[in-house]
Amino acid sequence: MTPMLTITDLHVSTNDQPILKGLTLTVRAGEVHAIMGPNGSGKSTLTKTIAGHPAYQVTSGSLQFQGRDLTVLEPEARAHLGLFIGFQYPVEVPGVNNADFLRLALNAKRKAQGQPELSAKEFAPLLAERMAAVEIDPAFKDRQLNAGLSGGQKKRNEILQMVVLEPLLAILDETDSGLDIDALRVVAAGINTYRRADRAIVLITHYERLLDLVRPDVVHVLAGGRIVTSGGPELAAQIERTGYDDLVKAAGA
C-alpha cells in the first residue's frame, strides 16, 4: 500500500538558509511517529514545509502524500487531501468566531471532496460532540479564533480543529508544550481516540511525557536537518536520560 507520507532526501531553505538537508521519512497508515530533536534542528521547518508555508522553499528531494506530490499544491489543497498540522504557535485571528471558522474549514474540505456542505444547524451538534470529546468548554465556540487564548488553550483548540476536520495525517508540532499535566492528559486522550488503522499521526516533541501517554510506533531524532537515528519508544526514554548530544555524535551528524 502507498505510504501516507513519503519524504525522500528533502532539502528546504528559508531566507536562502538551508535548514533541511536530506531528510527522509516514511509514515504509513495506522502508525504513530514521534520526531524529537534539539532546538534549531529543523522540526518546525519540516511541519511548515509539509503545510505549504510560502516562506519555505523545497530546493530538492520529494515530498508526497499518498503518492501525490505535495510541493505543487496550495496549503488549502493539502488540507483538502486530509493533511492537518497542529502548529507550535497557533496564529491569533481577531474578530473571527471559533465555531464559524470551524464550519467554514470543514465545509471547504467537504466541498473539495464533493460532499454537501453543512448548515450551521447541522454543524452545531457535531461541534458539541467533538468539543465534549476533547473536553473543551462549550463557551469556546463563541470565542475568537485563538485571540485572547492562553498558550495551553490554543493548543487544545488545535486538537479541536483536528477532531472536527478528521484528517488522514495529523502532524502535531510541540502540541504538548505549554500544557499543564491535566491538559496534557486531555490532549493525549484526544490523540489516542483519534488514532485509527486508516490514519497516521506524527508527534513532534521535546518531552517524553507526551510519549508516555501516546505510545509511538517509531521515534526519530532530527538533528542538523536530517533524521540521524530512529528506533522504538525506548529511544525517547534514552533521550530523556542522556540528551541528544551523544546520539547526534554517534550518528556522525
Partner 1 sequence: MTPETNPWIAVRTAARARAQTLGLPTTAQEDWRYVDVRPLAADPTTWAASATAVAAADIDRHRLPGVPTLVLVDGKVVEASARYDSVAITPLGKLDEARRSALLGRWMAALAMEDDPTVCWSIADCAGGVHLAARGDAPVPLHLLVIASGGVQGCRVVIEVAQGAALELVITHVELAPARLSIAIEAQVGAGGRLQVDELQASGHAQPAGQHFSIVQLELGRDAQVAWTSAAQGGSLVRQRTAAVIAGQGATLELAGLLQLAGQRQAHVHTRVRHAAGNAASRQLFKTIVDGHAVASFDGLVAVDVGADGTDAQQRNHNLLLAPTARVDSRPQLDILADDVKASHGATVGRPDPEELFYLRSRGLGAEQALAVLNRGFANAVIERMRNPAARALAERVLIGTLAG
Binding site for partner 1 (CB under 8 A): 51-54, 74-76, 78-80, 85, 87, 90-96, 101, 104-106, 108-109, 112, 144-145, 161, 165
CB of residue 195 vs partner 1: minimum separation in angstroms?
Answer: 21
CB of residue 225 vs partner 1: minimum separation in angstroms?
Answer: 22
CA distance 51 to 76: 9
CA distance 31 to 27: 7
Q: Alpha-carbon torsion 196, 5, 69, 18, what sign? A: positive
Where does residue 81 rank: exposed (0-12), middle (13-18), buried (19+ CB within 10 A)? middle
CB of residue 105 vs partner 1: minimum separation in angstroms?
Answer: 4
The nearer residue to partner 1, 101 or 140, going by C-beta atoms, is 101
The nearer residue to partner 1, 84 or 244, going by C-beta atoms, is 84
The nearer residue to partner 1, 169 or 248, going by C-beta atoms, is 169
For residue 16, how far is the Cα from the chain centroid? Answer: 25
CB of residue 113 vs partner 1: minimum separation in angstroms?
Answer: 10
The nearer residue to partner 1, 142 or 245, going by C-beta atoms, is 142
What is the CA angle 35-77-50, rounded to 5?
A: 20
